[in-house]
Structure 1
Amino acid sequence: MSAVTAPATASAGPRPLADVATMLRRSLLRAVRYPGLTVFLVAGPLVMLLLFVHVFGGAFGAGVAPGVTPGAEGRAAYLDYITPTLLVLTVVGGATSVATSAAMDAAGGIMARFRTMAIAPGSVLSGQVLGFTVQALAALVLLLGAAVATGYRPDAGVAGWFAVVGLLVLLSLALNWLCVAMGLHARSVETASNLPMILLLLPFLGSGFVPVDTMPGAVRWFAEHQPFTPVIETLRGLLTGTGTETAVVQAVAWCLVIGVAGYLWARSLFRRERRL
């Protein structure tokens, strides 16, 4: 009897790749069944594109590009300046949705049930992280298409575009792991939706919307040393073909630090019994 049942037990054990694929499929199906988070992910950056370019861009463009006159020329200059920022904000918006999704699973008892099943422990969280990364990439394509339709003309070559995509994917994975941890740490779904809001504010406190050299001393120091500034500056450089190696190294280093910290925190919380 034992000789017959042993192979069946072994075959029913965790299969990491298959389990991750199953959880990824679950995350994508959830996006279809609950489209509210997906609509927010796509609509938010599009609204900001229209608002900041067509309402504020004529004046702001003259501030970010010396010698540019307010009006149509200013809008074109500000579109070039702000598009990399909106790409980052799209990734951040997807990450904040991960926190809400993870909190919903935890509060509903699904995470506790997954811990009792014969599946790879890391697959539950990895599926959500990868699922929202896929959604973020789709939203990025839509945003970039809207920017191009508005007049954005990047000068990146083939290698530059590969670097842009690679950096955005790395940023998405890093922030998704951090926000999964935030969602598991939150005591309620409402709290989980509020915790990542600081991530949406950081691009405003960096070089996302205005050059950091226009800011007062303490604010400028913070803007220069927070993680989103080198990421945004790297994307600007890559899309215009003027990227520097120093900015790229800083951006990748920040993504790795955030991703590793978020991953370790999320795994620790997942293994711990949730206390209500």
Structure 2
Amino acid sequence: MTATAPTPELAPRVRRGAIAQSVMDSLVVARRNLIRMIRIPEMVIFGLIQPIMFVVLFTYVFGGSIKVGATISPQAYREFLMAGIFAQTVTFATAGAGAGIADDMHKGLIDRFRSLPMARGAVLTGRTIADLVQTTLTLVVLAGVALIVGWRTHENIGKVLLGFLLLLLLGYAFSWIGALIGLIVRTPEAATSGGLIWLFPLTFISNAFVDANQMPTFLRHIAEWNPFSATVQACRELFGNLPPGFVTPDAWPMRHPILASVLWSVVILLVFRTLAVRKYRSATA
């Protein structure tokens, strides 16, 4: 009689916790979107053209004609401007985030993700992480262009890096607004329009391009409490780019811009991430 070899016991399957599983799923989706960006470099190139155009146009067309603080010096305006351009760039990435998610919904890719054993919120988190990586690369290139046209910082490297971290936090928070828009609309084209139409008044009724102290009273109050303005003001202080004779407004966000920037970004992130994940679950239920 032939002896039967004992069957070896299979190693027990490792089960990750819910948070760890969600993180892993988010990174997988982020990797997928980053690979897509690499294969379609036009996405990154076209995303760089607009902020570079803003830098060049505002620097050479308006520089020397707009008073900031107590001066109309082109160099003072150039340094005053760049924090606003950086902040505008990271927030305008909202439209790309919304269009990407709307495109995935339109093509049925979200339905394929739904059929996989993965965390529901990982699809949106992965997309926003990929957008954050692209935004970081855009900021690096834009900072290089700014240095070429004469922008300089006057604080230590720690403060400068903190300024860029605040910009990335703002951009990441706004990407969740784009995610919600992408889930609400039906086409990528509508997501692009919906992601930009409200950003123009948000960025222009702020301290990004002009000294808010020179605005009419009602617009000045809006600009001072604008979440966008808080980050711009914080970056100007951290970069050492406040112009000579600049008078800091009395509004609390302008007096404490770093804290206000963090608070605004965290609130926007928590609110719109919650709304976007809830919308995603209802849309794929």
Per the shorter chain, which TM-score range?
A: 0.7 to 0.9
Between the aligned partners of 1:222 and 1:15, the Cα distance in structure 2 is 42
Residue of structure 2 equivalent to 1:264: 274
Q: CA deviation at 1:38?
A: 1.8
Alpha-carbon offset, residue 32 of structure 1: 2.2
Tell me the distance in 2 between the aligned counterparts of 1:77 and 1:9.
59
Match of 2:261 in 1: 251
Deviations 1:147-171 (A, max 9, x none): 1111111012132023113212211
2:203–2:228 contact (8 Å) kept in structure 1: yes
- CA distance 1:114–1:41, shift in 2 (3 Å): same
Q: Which residue of 2 aligns with 1:214?
A: 214
The structure having more radius of gyration, on CA atoms, is 2
* 1:202-241 pair list within 5 angstroms: 202-240=202-240
Partner Cα distance (1:50, 1:81) in 2 = 14
Kindly tell me: are residues 86 and 25 of structure 1, through their superposed partners in 2, closer, same or farther at Cα, counting changes over 3 Å? Answer: same
Structure with more relative contact order (C-alpha pairs < 8 Å, separation 6 or more): 2
1:1-276 aligned within 5 A: 15-60=21-66, 63-68=67-72, 74-197=73-196, 198-240=198-240, 246-273=256-283
- How far off is 1:245 after superposition? 6.8
Q: 1:152 to 1:118 in 2, by over 3 A?
A: same
Quote the offset at 1:85 in angstroms.
Answer: 0.6
User: Is residue 178–residue 261 contact of structure 1 (8 Å, CA) maintained in 2?
Assistant: no
Q: CA RMSD in A?
A: 2.4
Q: Which residue is 1:71 aligned to? A: none
Q: Equivalents in 2 of 1:125, 1:6: separation in Å?
A: 33
TM-score, normalised to structure 2, is 0.85
How far apart, in 2, do the equivalents of 1:200 and 1:186 lie? 20
Q: Is the 8 A contact 1:100 1:193 kept in 2?
A: yes
Counterpart of 1:247, as a letter, is P
Deviation for aligned residue 1:10 = 6.1
After superposition, the C-alpha distances for 1:120-157 in whole angstroms (9 at most, x for unaligned) are: 22221111101010110111011111111111110121
Contact 1:179 1:262 in 2 (8 A): no
With over 3 angstroms needed to count, the CA separation of the structure-2 counterparts of 1:186 and 1:222, relative to structure 1, is same
- Residue 208 of structure 2 aligns to a residue whose secondary structure is coil
Deviations 1:228-256 (A, max 9, x none): 11111111111007798711111111101
Structure 1 residues 30-39 or 197-206, which shifts more? 30-39
Judging changes above 3 Å, is the alpha-carbon distance between structure 1 residues 67 and 211 closer, same or farther for their aligned structure 2 residues? closer
Q: Percent identity?
A: 28
Write the distance in 2 (CA, Å) between the matches of 1:155 and 1:9.
52
Question: In 1, are the aligned partners of 2:79 and 2:241 still within 8 Å (CA)?
Answer: no
SS across alignment from 1:182: helix
SS of 2:153 mapped into structure 1: coil
Give the direction of change, closer, same or farther, for the CA distance of 1:5–1:106 in structure 2 (3 Å limit): farther
Indicate how the Cα distance of structure 1 residues 25 and 211 shifts in structure 2: closer, same or farther if over 3 A, else same: same
Partner secondary structure for residue 152 of structure 1 = coil
Partner of 2:245: none
Distance 2:42 2:275 in 1: 27
Q: Describe the superposition over 1:167-187 as per-residue Cα deviations: whole angstroms up to 9, x where unpaired.
A: 122112101112111111112
> Residues 9 and 223 of structure 1: is their aligned pair in 2 closer, same or farther, counting only changes over 3 Å?
same
Alignment: residue pair count: 264
Query: Partner amino acid for 2:92?
Result: G
Aligned residue for 1:59, secondary structure, equals: coil
Higher helix share: 1
Q: SS of the residue aligned with 2:209?
A: coil
